[in-house]
């Protein structure tokens, strides 16, 4: 069964403890003029930046939160952006995609569906857009992934009695599924929870968002940008979603001054 399009859910986001911040400001005898409408993610970044320069009270410039963040980015003071982070649930993507995705190490954490603990007999598959557009290619592809799934189920059945007994049933299943999954296609659908901070997400979008030949990566990048521009527009104001010649999205990092 072909999986539905990738789905991205924001499952956790920053929350400011306004009372704690007020206690700090009172202790220091300063005030912080906050921008109306800024989200917690945007405000925690501004707060962290202001602590660096202690630009509270009389030392606070008239800049809004969005202008303040734009200036941090312009100056390359991006470590401050690491204080805003989110957790996402991503489903409907291929194992081929996640193999590339999890290469992003700095500021990312992952928890992915295991093919050792989960029986993949009913796994869905993600058809690449390039194949979806070509009926002949789609037939070749469907036959190949169908054969791979049949082989997977047959291997589970054949190996079930042949494998050595292990003290724990859980380890016997791991052995069985690990052997059988070796024939599963890279198109097999997977799901993962990942957490990442704004700096890491910006790096990911800049590196991966507009690679013409990587359609699944572009689609996920666009989902991510859509979510982040709701969560913290000021932190992602210099990225824009466009549509590529293939009708799929492209995420572009705007040049300085285009915010």
Active site residues: 208
For position 106 contacting ligand FAD by CB under 6 A, the verdict is: yes
For position 15 contacting ligand FAD by CB under 6 A, the verdict is: no
Which stretch, 72-80, 102-110, 164-172, 218-226, contacts ligand FAD (CB under 6 A)? 102-110
Count of residues of this chain found to bind ligand FAD when the rule CB under 6 A is applied: 9
Task: Name the β-bridge partners of 195.
Answer: 87, 109
Residue 202 beta carbon to ligand FAD: minimum distance, rounded to whole angstroms: 10
Which stretch, 36-44, 85-93, 184-192, 202-210, contacts ligand FAD (CB under 6 A)? 202-210
Residue 234 contacts residue 38 (beta carbons within 8 Å): yes
Which stretch, 54-62, 143-151, 203-211, 235-243, contacts ligand FAD (CB under 6 A)? 203-211
**Start-to-end CA span in the chain (Å):** 42
What residues contact residue 12 under an 8 Å CB cut-off, 6+ apart?
86, 87, 195
For position 104 contacting ligand FAD by CB under 6 A, the verdict is: yes
Residue 171 contacts residue 116 (beta carbons within 8 Å): no
For position 167 contacting ligand FAD by CB under 6 A, the verdict is: no
Q: Which of 15, 19, 105, 168 binds ligand FAD (CB under 6 A)?
A: 105
Q: Read off φ and ψ for residue 118, nearest 5 degrees.
A: -110, 130
Nearer to ligand FAD among residue 61 and residue 111 (C-beta): 111
Q: Which of 91, 203, 215, 236 binds ligand FAD (CB under 6 A)?
A: 203
Q: Which of 211, 212, 242, 243 binds ligand FAD (CB under 6 A)?
A: 211
Residue 76 beta carbon to ligand FAD: minimum distance, rounded to whole angstroms: 13
For position 202 contacting ligand FAD by CB under 6 A, the verdict is: no
Q: Which of 1, 19, 20, 103 binds ligand FAD (CB under 6 A)?
A: 103
Q: Provide the 3-class DSSP secondary structure of residue 119.
A: coil
For position 213 contacting ligand FAD by CB under 6 A, the verdict is: no
Helical axes 40-53 vs 65-75, angle rounded to 10°: 60
Residue 216 contacts residue 126 (beta carbons within 8 Å): yes
Nearer to ligand FAD among residue 51 and residue 211 (C-beta): 211
Task: Name the β-bridge partners of 7.
Answer: 91
For position 218 contacting ligand FAD by CB under 6 A, the verdict is: no
Measured distance CA(253)–CA(259) in Å, rounded: 10
Measured distance CA(173)–CA(181) in Å, rounded: 12
Place of tokens 């005898």: 29
Q: Which helix (H) or strand (E) holds 86?
A: strand 85-94
Chain contacts with ligand FAD (rule: CB under 6 A): 103-106, 200, 203, 207-208, 211
């Amino acid at each position: 069964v072909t999986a539905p399009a990738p789905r991205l859910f924001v499952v956790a986001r920053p929350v400011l403890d306004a009372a704690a911040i007020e206690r700090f400001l009172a202790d220091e005898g300063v005030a912080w003029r906050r921008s109306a409408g800024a989200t917690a993610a945007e405000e925690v970044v501004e707060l962290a930046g202001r602590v660096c320069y202690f630009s509270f009270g009389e030392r606070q410039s008239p800049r809004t939160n969005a202008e303040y963040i734009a200036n941090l980015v312009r100056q390359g003071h991006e470590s401050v952006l690491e204080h805003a982070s989110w957790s996402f649930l991503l489903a409907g993507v291929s194992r081929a995609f996640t193999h590339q995705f999890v290469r992003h190490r700095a500021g990312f954490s992952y928890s992915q569906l295991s093919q050792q603990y989960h029986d993949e007999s009913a796994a869905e598959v993600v058809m690449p857009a390039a194949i979806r557009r070509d009926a002949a290619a789609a037939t070749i592809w469907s036959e190949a992934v169908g054969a791979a799934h049949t082989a997977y189920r047959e291997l589970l059945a054949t190996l079930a009695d042949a494998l050595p007994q292990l003290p724990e049933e859980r380890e016997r299943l791991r052995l069985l599924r690990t052997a059988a999954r070796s024939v599963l296609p890279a198109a097999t659908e997977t799901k993962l929870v990942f957490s990442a901070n704004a700096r890491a997400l910006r790096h990911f979008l800049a590196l991966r968002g507009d690679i013409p030949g990587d359609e699944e990566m572009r689609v996920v990048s666009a989902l991510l940008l859509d979510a982040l521009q709701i969560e913290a527009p000021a932190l992602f104001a210099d990225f824009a979603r466009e549509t590529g010649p293939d009708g799929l999205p492209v995420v572009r990092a705007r040049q300085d001054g285009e915010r």
